[in-house]
Structure 1
Amino acid sequence: MRKYFVTGLLVLVPLAITAWVLHLVISTMDQSLLLIPERWLDKKHRPSGLGTILTVLAVFLTGLLTNNLVGNFMVRQWEKLLHRIPVVSSLYGSVKQVSDTLFSDSGNAFRKAVLIPYPHAGSRTIAFLTGAPAVEVAKYLDEEHISVYVPTTPNPTSGYFLMLPKKDVIELDMSVDAALKYIVSMGVVVPEQNLT
Protein backbone atom coordinates (compact mmCIF):
# COMPACT_ATOMS: atom_id res chain seq x y z
CA MET A 1 0.00 0.00 0.00
CA ARG A 2 2.74 2.44 1.03
CA LYS A 3 4.77 1.56 -2.08
CA TYR A 4 1.89 2.54 -4.39
CA PHE A 5 1.30 5.78 -2.50
CA VAL A 6 4.99 6.78 -2.77
CA THR A 7 5.03 5.84 -6.48
CA GLY A 8 1.94 7.99 -7.03
CA LEU A 9 3.61 10.90 -5.23
CA LEU A 10 6.74 10.55 -7.36
CA VAL A 11 4.61 10.87 -10.50
CA LEU A 12 2.13 13.53 -9.37
CA VAL A 13 4.25 15.92 -7.25
CA PRO A 14 6.55 17.04 -10.12
CA LEU A 15 3.49 17.43 -12.38
CA ALA A 16 1.62 19.44 -9.75
CA ILE A 17 4.59 21.72 -9.04
CA THR A 18 5.18 22.25 -12.78
CA ALA A 19 1.48 23.09 -13.31
CA TRP A 20 1.51 25.45 -10.31
CA VAL A 21 4.61 27.31 -11.54
CA LEU A 22 3.18 27.59 -15.07
CA HIS A 23 -0.13 28.86 -13.67
CA LEU A 24 1.74 31.43 -11.55
CA VAL A 25 3.80 32.63 -14.53
CA ILE A 26 0.82 32.81 -16.89
CA SER A 27 -1.47 34.56 -14.37
CA THR A 28 1.30 37.07 -13.62
CA MET A 29 1.84 37.74 -17.30
CA ASP A 30 -1.92 38.08 -17.79
CA GLN A 31 -1.73 41.17 -15.56
CA SER A 32 -0.34 43.02 -18.59
CA LEU A 33 -3.97 43.18 -19.78
CA LEU A 34 -4.56 45.81 -17.10
CA LEU A 35 -2.64 48.21 -19.37
CA ILE A 36 -5.28 47.87 -22.09
CA PRO A 37 -8.41 50.02 -21.76
CA GLU A 38 -11.45 47.97 -20.59
CA ARG A 39 -13.63 49.07 -23.47
CA TRP A 40 -11.24 47.25 -25.85
CA LEU A 41 -11.59 43.94 -24.01
CA ASP A 42 -14.58 41.63 -24.11
CA LYS A 43 -14.34 39.96 -20.68
CA LYS A 44 -16.81 37.18 -21.61
CA HIS A 45 -14.86 36.00 -24.64
CA ARG A 46 -11.32 36.82 -23.54
CA PRO A 47 -9.17 33.67 -23.73
CA SER A 48 -6.98 32.80 -20.76
CA GLY A 49 -3.35 33.41 -21.56
CA LEU A 50 -3.98 36.42 -23.80
CA GLY A 51 -1.89 38.56 -21.45
CA THR A 52 0.93 36.03 -21.68
CA ILE A 53 0.88 36.18 -25.46
CA LEU A 54 0.83 39.99 -25.39
CA THR A 55 3.71 40.09 -22.86
CA VAL A 56 5.87 37.71 -24.91
CA LEU A 57 5.04 39.71 -28.04
CA ALA A 58 5.92 43.01 -26.30
CA VAL A 59 9.26 41.60 -25.09
CA PHE A 60 10.06 40.28 -28.58
CA LEU A 61 9.10 43.56 -30.29
CA THR A 62 11.13 45.58 -27.77
CA GLY A 63 14.17 43.41 -28.51
CA LEU A 64 13.57 43.72 -32.26
CA LEU A 65 13.17 47.50 -32.17
CA THR A 66 16.13 48.18 -29.88
CA ASN A 67 18.46 45.94 -31.87
CA ASN A 68 19.05 48.61 -34.50
CA LEU A 69 20.81 51.97 -34.50
CA VAL A 70 17.76 54.15 -33.80
CA GLY A 71 16.35 51.84 -31.12
CA ASN A 72 19.74 51.54 -29.46
CA PHE A 73 20.07 55.33 -29.38
CA MET A 74 16.59 55.68 -27.83
CA VAL A 75 17.44 53.11 -25.11
CA ARG A 76 20.67 54.96 -24.27
CA GLN A 77 18.76 58.26 -23.97
CA TRP A 78 16.13 56.61 -21.76
CA GLU A 79 18.84 55.15 -19.52
CA LYS A 80 20.56 58.56 -19.22
CA LEU A 81 17.25 60.00 -18.05
CA LEU A 82 16.77 57.21 -15.49
CA HIS A 83 20.31 57.71 -14.16
CA ARG A 84 19.43 61.32 -13.27
CA ILE A 85 16.56 60.38 -10.96
CA PRO A 86 18.05 59.86 -7.44
CA VAL A 87 16.41 56.66 -6.10
CA VAL A 88 15.59 55.17 -9.50
CA SER A 89 19.20 55.58 -10.60
CA SER A 90 20.69 53.24 -8.01
CA LEU A 91 17.87 50.69 -8.23
CA TYR A 92 17.78 50.58 -12.04
CA GLY A 93 21.57 50.52 -12.29
CA SER A 94 21.88 47.54 -9.95
CA VAL A 95 19.09 45.56 -11.61
CA LYS A 96 20.47 46.33 -15.09
CA GLN A 97 23.95 45.17 -14.11
CA VAL A 98 22.67 41.87 -12.75
CA SER A 99 20.33 41.22 -15.68
CA ASP A 100 23.09 42.04 -18.20
CA THR A 101 25.35 39.54 -16.47
CA LEU A 102 22.72 36.81 -16.27
CA PHE A 103 21.01 37.16 -19.64
CA SER A 104 23.64 38.40 -22.09
CA ASP A 105 25.27 35.88 -24.42
CA SER A 106 28.74 36.91 -23.29
CA GLY A 107 27.78 37.04 -19.61
CA ASN A 108 29.08 34.36 -17.30
CA ALA A 109 27.41 34.96 -13.97
CA PHE A 110 28.43 31.55 -12.68
CA ARG A 111 31.82 30.68 -14.09
CA LYS A 112 32.49 27.38 -12.37
CA ALA A 113 31.00 24.98 -9.84
CA VAL A 114 33.17 24.76 -6.72
CA LEU A 115 33.22 22.91 -3.40
CA ILE A 116 33.62 25.09 -0.31
CA PRO A 117 33.61 24.71 3.47
CA TYR A 118 30.16 25.97 4.52
CA PRO A 119 28.45 26.70 6.94
CA HIS A 120 31.45 25.64 9.05
CA ALA A 121 34.88 24.08 8.49
CA GLY A 122 33.62 20.52 9.00
CA SER A 123 30.99 20.55 6.23
CA ARG A 124 31.02 21.18 2.47
CA THR A 125 28.59 22.59 -0.07
CA ILE A 126 28.53 23.40 -3.76
CA ALA A 127 28.87 27.05 -4.71
CA PHE A 128 29.49 28.98 -7.91
CA LEU A 129 32.56 31.04 -8.68
CA THR A 130 31.51 34.61 -9.50
CA GLY A 131 34.84 36.41 -9.61
CA ALA A 132 37.32 38.14 -7.33
CA PRO A 133 36.67 40.57 -4.47
CA ALA A 134 36.60 44.27 -5.35
CA VAL A 135 39.93 46.10 -5.03
CA GLU A 136 38.63 48.07 -2.03
CA VAL A 137 37.82 44.82 -0.22
CA ALA A 138 40.86 42.83 -1.42
CA LYS A 139 43.32 45.27 0.17
CA TYR A 140 42.01 44.26 3.62
CA LEU A 141 42.35 40.52 2.97
CA ASP A 142 45.61 38.87 3.98
CA GLU A 143 45.72 36.32 1.13
CA GLU A 144 44.18 35.72 -2.29
CA HIS A 145 40.40 35.34 -2.06
CA ILE A 146 37.67 34.51 -4.57
CA SER A 147 33.99 35.45 -4.61
CA VAL A 148 31.37 32.70 -4.63
CA TYR A 149 27.60 32.46 -4.59
CA VAL A 150 26.09 29.76 -2.36
CA PRO A 151 22.54 28.94 -3.54
CA THR A 152 19.92 27.62 -1.15
CA THR A 153 18.00 24.38 -1.71
CA PRO A 154 15.53 23.88 -3.37
CA ASN A 155 15.28 27.54 -4.49
CA PRO A 156 18.67 28.51 -5.95
CA THR A 157 17.60 32.10 -6.64
CA SER A 158 18.19 32.96 -2.99
CA GLY A 159 21.52 32.37 -1.36
CA TYR A 160 24.65 33.88 0.09
CA PHE A 161 27.59 35.79 -1.31
CA LEU A 162 30.91 34.83 0.27
CA MET A 163 34.58 35.72 -0.16
CA LEU A 164 36.81 32.77 0.67
CA PRO A 165 40.56 32.11 0.61
CA LYS A 166 41.37 30.57 -2.77
CA LYS A 167 43.22 27.69 -1.08
CA ASP A 168 39.96 26.56 0.60
CA VAL A 169 38.03 26.30 -2.68
CA ILE A 170 38.05 23.14 -4.82
CA GLU A 171 37.07 23.49 -8.48
CA LEU A 172 34.72 20.70 -9.58
CA ASP A 173 34.72 18.92 -12.92
CA MET A 174 30.97 19.53 -13.15
CA SER A 175 29.03 21.87 -15.41
CA VAL A 176 27.10 24.74 -13.83
CA ASP A 177 23.83 23.20 -15.11
CA ALA A 178 24.61 19.81 -13.56
CA ALA A 179 25.55 21.47 -10.26
CA LEU A 180 22.29 23.47 -10.24
CA LYS A 181 20.24 20.30 -10.82
CA TYR A 182 22.14 18.61 -8.01
CA ILE A 183 21.41 21.51 -5.64
CA VAL A 184 17.74 21.92 -6.61
CA SER A 185 17.12 18.17 -6.19
CA MET A 186 18.71 18.32 -2.71
CA GLY A 187 21.36 15.83 -3.82
CA VAL A 188 18.92 13.28 -5.24
CA VAL A 189 19.79 13.86 -8.93
CA VAL A 190 23.48 12.94 -9.02
CA PRO A 191 25.40 14.32 -12.04
CA GLU A 192 26.78 11.70 -14.41
CA GLN A 193 30.53 11.20 -14.29
CA ASN A 194 32.59 12.45 -17.21
CA LEU A 195 34.38 9.39 -18.58
CA THR A 196 36.81 11.22 -20.86
Structure 2
Amino acid sequence: MKKYIIAGLLVWLPLAITIWVLAWVVGLLDGVFQALLALAGAVLPAGAGEALDRLAHVPGLGVLLLVLTMLLTGMFVANFVGQWWLRQWDRILGQIPIVKSIYNSVKQVSDTLFSSSGQAFREAVLVQYPRQGIWTIAFVTGKPGGEVAAHLSDDFVSLYVPTTPNPTSGFFLMAPRADVRVLAMSVDEALKYIISMGVVGPDGNGSPSIQPIPAPVQN
Protein backbone atom coordinates (compact mmCIF):
# COMPACT_ATOMS: atom_id res chain seq x y z
CA MET A 1 0.00 0.00 0.00
CA LYS A 2 2.86 2.40 0.79
CA LYS A 3 4.30 1.87 -2.70
CA TYR A 4 0.98 2.70 -4.36
CA ILE A 5 0.46 5.80 -2.22
CA ILE A 6 3.92 7.12 -3.12
CA ALA A 7 3.28 6.37 -6.81
CA GLY A 8 0.02 8.30 -6.67
CA LEU A 9 1.73 11.16 -4.84
CA LEU A 10 4.37 11.41 -7.55
CA VAL A 11 1.58 11.77 -10.14
CA TRP A 12 -0.48 14.42 -8.35
CA LEU A 13 2.18 16.44 -6.50
CA PRO A 14 3.71 18.19 -9.58
CA LEU A 15 0.23 19.01 -10.89
CA ALA A 16 -0.93 20.33 -7.51
CA ILE A 17 2.14 22.53 -7.08
CA THR A 18 1.79 23.85 -10.66
CA ILE A 19 -1.87 24.76 -10.06
CA TRP A 20 -0.98 26.37 -6.72
CA VAL A 21 1.76 28.53 -8.29
CA LEU A 22 -0.50 29.60 -11.17
CA ALA A 23 -3.34 30.40 -8.75
CA TRP A 24 -0.94 32.48 -6.65
CA VAL A 25 0.25 34.44 -9.69
CA VAL A 26 -3.32 35.02 -10.91
CA GLY A 27 -4.37 36.13 -7.42
CA LEU A 28 -1.42 38.51 -7.20
CA LEU A 29 -2.17 40.11 -10.57
CA ASP A 30 -5.88 40.32 -9.76
CA GLY A 31 -4.97 42.03 -6.49
CA VAL A 32 -2.91 44.65 -8.35
CA PHE A 33 -5.79 45.14 -10.81
CA GLN A 34 -8.34 45.59 -8.01
CA ALA A 35 -6.08 48.09 -6.26
CA LEU A 36 -5.85 50.13 -9.48
CA LEU A 37 -9.63 49.98 -9.90
CA ALA A 38 -10.13 51.11 -6.30
CA LEU A 39 -7.78 54.03 -6.90
CA ALA A 40 -9.61 54.97 -10.10
CA GLY A 41 -12.99 54.65 -8.39
CA ALA A 42 -11.89 57.09 -5.69
CA VAL A 43 -11.32 59.90 -8.21
CA LEU A 44 -14.10 59.14 -10.72
CA PRO A 45 -17.83 59.92 -10.34
CA ALA A 46 -20.02 57.53 -8.35
CA GLY A 47 -21.56 55.87 -11.42
CA ALA A 48 -18.17 55.06 -12.89
CA GLY A 49 -17.01 53.73 -9.53
CA GLU A 50 -19.87 51.23 -9.43
CA ALA A 51 -19.03 49.99 -12.93
CA LEU A 52 -15.38 49.55 -11.95
CA ASP A 53 -16.44 47.64 -8.84
CA ARG A 54 -18.34 45.15 -11.01
CA LEU A 55 -15.29 44.70 -13.23
CA ALA A 56 -13.14 43.93 -10.19
CA HIS A 57 -15.12 40.74 -9.57
CA VAL A 58 -14.62 39.27 -13.05
CA PRO A 59 -12.14 36.38 -12.51
CA GLY A 60 -8.98 36.54 -14.60
CA LEU A 61 -9.80 39.94 -16.07
CA GLY A 62 -6.99 41.59 -14.12
CA VAL A 63 -4.41 39.16 -15.56
CA LEU A 64 -5.66 39.73 -19.11
CA LEU A 65 -5.69 43.52 -18.83
CA LEU A 66 -2.29 43.71 -17.13
CA VAL A 67 -0.69 41.49 -19.79
CA LEU A 68 -2.36 43.60 -22.49
CA THR A 69 -1.10 46.77 -20.81
CA MET A 70 2.48 45.47 -20.74
CA LEU A 71 2.21 44.41 -24.40
CA LEU A 72 0.91 47.82 -25.52
CA THR A 73 3.52 49.60 -23.38
CA GLY A 74 6.29 47.53 -24.94
CA MET A 75 5.02 48.30 -28.43
CA PHE A 76 4.85 52.02 -27.57
CA VAL A 77 8.37 52.35 -26.15
CA ALA A 78 9.85 50.38 -29.05
CA ASN A 79 9.57 53.41 -31.39
CA PHE A 80 11.19 56.84 -31.40
CA VAL A 81 8.26 58.70 -29.79
CA GLY A 82 7.94 56.11 -27.03
CA GLN A 83 11.65 56.30 -26.27
CA TRP A 84 11.35 60.09 -25.88
CA TRP A 85 8.45 59.77 -23.45
CA LEU A 86 10.34 57.09 -21.53
CA ARG A 87 13.33 59.40 -21.11
CA GLN A 88 11.05 62.16 -19.85
CA TRP A 89 9.44 59.73 -17.40
CA ASP A 90 12.85 58.63 -16.11
CA ARG A 91 13.93 62.25 -15.77
CA ILE A 92 10.83 63.15 -13.70
CA LEU A 93 11.19 60.18 -11.36
CA GLY A 94 14.92 60.87 -11.11
CA GLN A 95 14.18 64.23 -9.46
CA ILE A 96 11.92 62.93 -6.67
CA PRO A 97 13.79 62.34 -3.38
CA ILE A 98 13.79 58.72 -2.08
CA VAL A 99 11.80 57.60 -5.14
CA LYS A 100 14.77 58.23 -7.43
CA SER A 101 17.05 55.96 -5.37
CA ILE A 102 14.62 53.04 -5.44
CA TYR A 103 13.53 53.55 -9.05
CA ASN A 104 17.05 53.95 -10.47
CA SER A 105 18.36 50.91 -8.59
CA VAL A 106 15.52 48.65 -9.70
CA LYS A 107 15.76 49.96 -13.27
CA GLN A 108 19.49 49.25 -13.47
CA VAL A 109 19.03 45.70 -12.19
CA SER A 110 16.06 44.95 -14.44
CA ASP A 111 17.78 46.41 -17.52
CA THR A 112 20.84 44.27 -16.81
CA LEU A 113 18.91 41.05 -16.18
CA PHE A 114 16.31 41.26 -18.95
CA SER A 115 18.15 43.13 -21.66
CA SER A 116 18.74 40.99 -24.74
CA SER A 117 22.25 42.44 -25.05
CA GLY A 118 23.19 41.83 -21.42
CA GLN A 119 25.27 38.92 -20.21
CA ALA A 120 23.76 38.49 -16.74
CA PHE A 121 22.51 34.97 -16.04
CA ARG A 122 23.49 33.80 -19.51
CA GLU A 123 26.07 31.27 -18.28
CA ALA A 124 26.19 28.56 -15.61
CA VAL A 125 29.58 27.72 -14.11
CA LEU A 126 31.22 25.63 -11.41
CA VAL A 127 33.08 27.40 -8.62
CA GLN A 128 34.72 26.20 -5.41
CA TYR A 129 32.60 27.51 -2.53
CA PRO A 130 32.61 27.86 0.48
CA ARG A 131 36.14 26.38 0.50
CA GLN A 132 38.65 24.71 -1.77
CA GLY A 133 37.60 21.21 -2.81
CA ILE A 134 33.83 21.81 -2.50
CA TRP A 135 32.09 22.79 -5.73
CA THR A 136 28.78 24.48 -6.39
CA ILE A 137 26.89 25.88 -9.38
CA ALA A 138 26.90 29.64 -9.89
CA PHE A 139 25.74 32.09 -12.56
CA VAL A 140 27.89 34.73 -14.20
CA THR A 141 26.37 38.20 -13.69
CA GLY A 142 29.12 40.27 -15.29
CA LYS A 143 32.50 41.73 -14.32
CA PRO A 144 33.48 43.85 -11.32
CA GLY A 145 33.58 47.55 -12.09
CA GLY A 146 34.52 50.89 -10.62
CA GLU A 147 36.62 51.02 -7.48
CA VAL A 148 36.22 47.29 -6.90
CA ALA A 149 37.79 46.44 -10.26
CA ALA A 150 40.70 48.80 -9.51
CA HIS A 151 41.62 46.70 -6.45
CA LEU A 152 41.51 43.39 -8.38
CA SER A 153 44.62 42.90 -10.45
CA ASP A 154 43.64 39.72 -12.29
CA ASP A 155 40.71 38.95 -14.61
CA PHE A 156 37.70 38.49 -12.28
CA VAL A 157 34.06 37.68 -12.91
CA SER A 158 30.99 38.45 -10.78
CA LEU A 159 29.06 35.37 -9.68
CA TYR A 160 25.72 34.67 -8.05
CA VAL A 161 25.59 31.48 -5.98
CA PRO A 162 21.93 30.56 -5.32
CA THR A 163 20.75 28.69 -2.25
CA THR A 164 18.83 25.41 -2.35
CA PRO A 165 15.90 24.82 -2.76
CA ASN A 166 15.06 28.55 -2.89
CA PRO A 167 17.28 30.12 -5.60
CA THR A 168 15.94 33.65 -5.00
CA SER A 169 18.41 34.07 -2.13
CA GLY A 170 22.12 33.48 -2.40
CA PHE A 171 25.61 34.93 -2.28
CA PHE A 172 27.51 37.39 -4.45
CA LEU A 173 31.11 36.44 -5.20
CA MET A 174 33.97 37.83 -7.26
CA ALA A 175 36.31 35.07 -8.40
CA PRO A 176 39.25 34.84 -10.81
CA ARG A 177 38.11 33.68 -14.22
CA ALA A 178 40.79 30.98 -14.13
CA ASP A 179 39.11 29.41 -11.07
CA VAL A 180 35.72 29.14 -12.79
CA ARG A 181 34.72 26.16 -14.92
CA VAL A 182 32.12 26.90 -17.61
CA LEU A 183 29.28 24.37 -17.90
CA ALA A 184 27.65 23.29 -21.15
CA MET A 185 24.22 23.06 -19.49
CA SER A 186 21.74 25.90 -19.93
CA VAL A 187 20.69 28.24 -17.13
CA ASP A 188 17.28 26.50 -16.95
CA GLU A 189 18.92 23.09 -16.55
CA ALA A 190 21.23 24.46 -13.86
CA LEU A 191 18.28 25.94 -11.95
CA LYS A 192 16.42 22.62 -12.07
CA TYR A 193 19.52 20.89 -10.75
CA ILE A 194 19.82 23.41 -7.90
CA ILE A 195 16.14 23.49 -6.94
CA SER A 196 15.93 19.68 -6.88
CA MET A 197 19.03 19.56 -4.65
CA GLY A 198 20.82 17.44 -7.24
CA VAL A 199 18.00 14.90 -7.61
CA VAL A 200 17.11 15.95 -11.18
CA GLY A 201 20.20 15.79 -13.39
CA PRO A 202 21.01 18.22 -16.22
CA ASP A 203 19.49 15.78 -18.75
CA GLY A 204 16.16 15.77 -16.91
CA ASN A 205 16.70 12.32 -15.44
CA GLY A 206 17.47 11.38 -11.88
CA SER A 207 21.03 11.58 -10.67
CA PRO A 208 22.92 8.29 -10.30
CA SER A 209 22.56 6.72 -6.89
CA ILE A 210 25.61 6.61 -4.64
CA GLN A 211 26.75 4.03 -2.16
CA PRO A 212 26.36 4.87 1.53
CA ILE A 213 29.42 6.53 3.05
CA PRO A 214 31.09 3.98 5.29
CA ALA A 215 31.39 4.80 8.96
CA PRO A 216 34.89 5.57 10.25
CA VAL A 217 36.77 2.61 11.63
CA GLN A 218 37.02 2.68 15.40
CA ASN A 219 40.47 1.86 16.75
1:68 corresponds in structure 2 to 79
Partner of 1:132: 143
CA positional deviation for 1:42: 5.5
Aligned-partner residue type, residue 75 of structure 2: L
**Paired residue type of 1:125:** T
1:34 aligned onto 2:68: no
Residues 16 and 143 (structure 1 numbering): CA distance in 2 closer, same or farther, change over 3 Å? Answer: same
Q: TM-score by structure 2 length?
A: 0.79
Q: Which structure 2 residues correspond to residues 1-196 of structure 1 after superposition, within 5 A?
A: 1-31=1-31, 32-36=33-37, 37=41, 38-41=49-52, 43=54, 46-141=57-152, 143-192=154-203
Q: CA deviation at 1:142?
A: 5.0
Deviation track 1:30-56 (CA, whole Å, cap 9, x = no partner) reads 121232224113549933111111111
Residues of 2 paired with 1:176 and 1:165: CA distance? 21
Shift in alpha-carbon separation, 1:51–1:44, aligned structure 2, 3 A? closer
> Contact 2:124–2:137 at 8 Å: present in 1 too?
yes
For residues 157 and 10 of structure 1, what CA distance do their matches in structure 2 show? Answer: 25
- For residues 83-141 of structure 1, what are the alpha-carbon distances to aligned partners after superposition, in whole Å with 9 as ceiling and x for unaligned? 11221112111111111122222223113211111122231100011222124113323
Q: Unmatched 5+ residue regions in structure 1?
A: none
Contiguous gaps of at least 5 residues in structure 2: 42-48, 205-219
Per the normalisation by structure 1, the TM-score is 0.88
SS at match of 2:98: helix
- C-alpha deviation, 1:154, in angstroms: 2.2
Residue type of the alignment partner of 1:182: Y
For the residues of structure 2 that align with 1:83 and 1:41, how far apart are their CA atoms? 32
Give the Cα–Cα distance (whole angstroms) in 1 for the partners of residues 155 and 71 of structure 2: 43
Structure showing greater Rg = 2
Q: Which amino acid aligns with 1:174?
A: M
Q: Secondary structure at the match of 2:110?
A: helix
